[in-house]
Amino acid sequence: MDKFDAIIIGTGQSGPALARRLAGAGRKVAVIERKFFGGTCVNTGCTPTKTLVASAYAAHLARRAGDYGVTIAGPVSVDMKAVKARKDAVAGVSRRAVERSLKTLQGCTVYEDHARFLGANKVAVSGSVLTGEQIFINVGTRALVPPIPGLKDVPHLTNSSMMDIDFLPPHLIVLGGSYVGLEFAQAYRRFGSEVTVIELAPRLIACEDEDVSRAVAGFLEEEGIHVWVDSKVVGVEKQSDRIAVKVESAGTLSQVVGTHLLVAIGRRPNTDDLGLDKAGIATDPRGYIEVDDQLCTNVPGVWAMGDCNGRGAFTHTSYNDFEVVAANLLDHDQRSVTDRITAYALYTDPPLGRAGMTEAEVRKSGQPALISTIAMEDVSRAYEKGETKGFMKILVDRDSGLILGGAFLGLAGDEVIHTILDFMYAKAPYTIMQRAMHIHPTVSEFIPTMLGDLKPLQ
Ligand SMILES: Cc1cc2nc3c(=O)[nH]c(=O)nc-3n(C[C@H](O)[C@H](O)[C@H](O)COP(=O)(O)OP(=O)(O)OC[C@H]3O[C@@H](n4cnc5c(N)ncnc54)[C@H](O)[C@@H]3O)c2cc1C
């Protein structure tokens, strides 16, 4: 039996950082990874998809070169093998960096295999039994493949297998019109595929405000993506070398026939084969590990960090989990996940940056609020760059003047959102930013302007 002060299962976005802090504090640490170092973000999530999105943007801009007075002789074509090679190279750098940093970390032993609990402080891996005074679970999630009739008999792709594609799917059908599905949909459309998105909800990215959903659907359709909403997939079947997806929409049955099928309808936690029952660790009905606000499970000495605890689904929430756990355990700094403000981005082009409450949430809360909206067409930087799709929206509490939230769908929306996010953390009234002098010409210069134009939310 190998004894450790701490065992970390999974090398997602919190495990490796915590391993470094614990080893740095003199603890004897074991890290266990069954597949790729760096987990989803580095290998099958953020990094590779944003690399693909960048290639797709280059293709799109090249096709629009004439708009800028630039001539490209001949049609624009995309070399999918080169696109994949670039993506692999970028992701590979990050994966190897995580692996190297752990394998060269003093006081850290790395195991490369599947880990399973044998008891509350006991883990089996590679034929060994490890005991740890503290155990940190960072096992992440994987694509949810629903029990749609016929799906298991038809070749289908997930965000993971999409990473192996080095050719252009003639017609990609995407099940799921939310964050993961839409990024792939737009990228592959720009590479040259015909793309159909099928979404069960009445609109794309249904947890966003209606105006955001509408605008996103609008620019995706403008690029030639077929968008089906309010559409339930009731079956899938192979038709010679094609895939037919049977869809029920407004009481009518129809089918979409394509060449490739991407399933992007959600995630499920990697907790089903982790032996949690042997350790008595509680999960919710979907398998997410139940934790308190400091990420402790119901079993003393065991924490769950990252997507598997259901308290976040992003790289930054997972990394923040590490910060919360490290602060509480090593720095005598009582931090909690309830201190964080909702923030994320959708990396379509233009991107959506989001912080805090949506307009719908503010309305539902009933609190008196102010709102300001500006079309990107009225933002000079966007106009100059010829990228005027989208709009920005900010919501403010009428009485305190505190910013409640914002949705920035437009050029650099994923970056500009931080102007209000940091302000929200500072808990400063909007009137301070309203008087700030921002740099011209930028998208951010319009934030003070918007704050000077707040109207009551009707
Ligand atoms: C297509 C896609 C795009 C995304 N884009 C973004 C984005 O742009 N921005 C963003 O913030 N988030 C994005 N995300 C989400 C982001 O990737 C995750 O939130 C992030 O990776 C955090 O994951 P994690 O730390 O929980 O664990 P993960 O990164 O999922 O890592 C878990 C690790 O644990 C290992 N493991 C699992 N079980 C075991 C076991 N029993 N034994 C040993 N090892 C095990 C796995 O092999 C894996 O390496 C995206 C996700 C997807 C799918």
**What is the chain's Cα-based Rg?**
24
How confident is the prediction along the chain (458 residues), in pLDDT tens digits per residue? Answer: 799 999 999 999 999 999 999 999 999 999 999 999 999 999 999 999 999 999 999 999 999 999 999 999 999 999 999 999 999 999 999 999 999 999 999 999 999 999 999 999 999 999 999 999 999 999 999 999 999 999 999 999 999 999 999 999 999 999 999 999 999 999 999 999 999 999 999 999 999 999 999 999 999 999 999 999 999 999 999 999 999 999 999 999 999 999 999 999 999 999 999 999 999 999 999 999 999 999 999 999 999 999 999 999 999 999 999 999 999 999 999 999 999 999 999 999 999 999 999 999 999 999 999 999 999 999 999 999 999 999 999 999 999 999 999 999 999 999 999 999 999 999 999 999 999 999 999 999 999 999 999 999 99
Q: Is the dihedral of CA 95, 100, 101, 107 positive or negative?
A: positive
105 alpha carbon to ligand 1 midpoint, in Å? 22
Map residue 365 onto helix, strand or coil. helix
Quote the CA–CA distance of 158 and 138 in Å, as a whole number.
Answer: 21
19 alpha carbon to ligand 1 midpoint, in Å? 17
Query: Which residues are CB-neighbours of 212 under 8 A, at least 6 positions away?
Result: 205, 352, 407, 409
How many CB atoms neighbour CB 343 within 10 A? 20
Q: Please report the pLDDT score of residue 35 as a whole number.
A: 97
Query: Which residues are CB-neighbours of 94 under 8 A, at least 6 positions away?
Result: 38, 42, 47
Pairing of the two strands 391-397 and 403-409: antiparallel
The closest-lying atom of ligand 1 relative to the alpha carbon of residue 14 is: 25
The closest-lying atom of ligand 1 relative to the alpha carbon of residue 313 is: 19
324 alpha carbon to ligand 1 midpoint, in Å? 18
Q: What are phi and psi of 338, to 5 degrees?
A: -75, -10
Ligand 1: residue of 315, 321, 324, 325 to mutate (most ligand atoms within 8 A of CB) is 315
Q: Please report the pLDDT score of residue 1 as a whole number.
A: 72
Residues 191/279, Cβ–Cβ less than 8 Å: no
* Ligand 1 cavity residues, CB under 6 Å: 9-14, 32-36, 39-41, 45-46, 49, 114-115, 138-141, 159, 180, 270, 274, 306-308, 313-316, 318, 347
98 alpha carbon to ligand 1 midpoint, in Å? 14
Question: In which element (H, E) is residue 48 found?
Answer: helix 46-63
229 alpha carbon to ligand 1 midpoint, in Å? 28
CA nearest ligand 1 atom 30, residue: 140
Residues 141/148, Cβ–Cβ less than 8 Å: no
5 alpha carbon to ligand 1 midpoint, in Å? 25
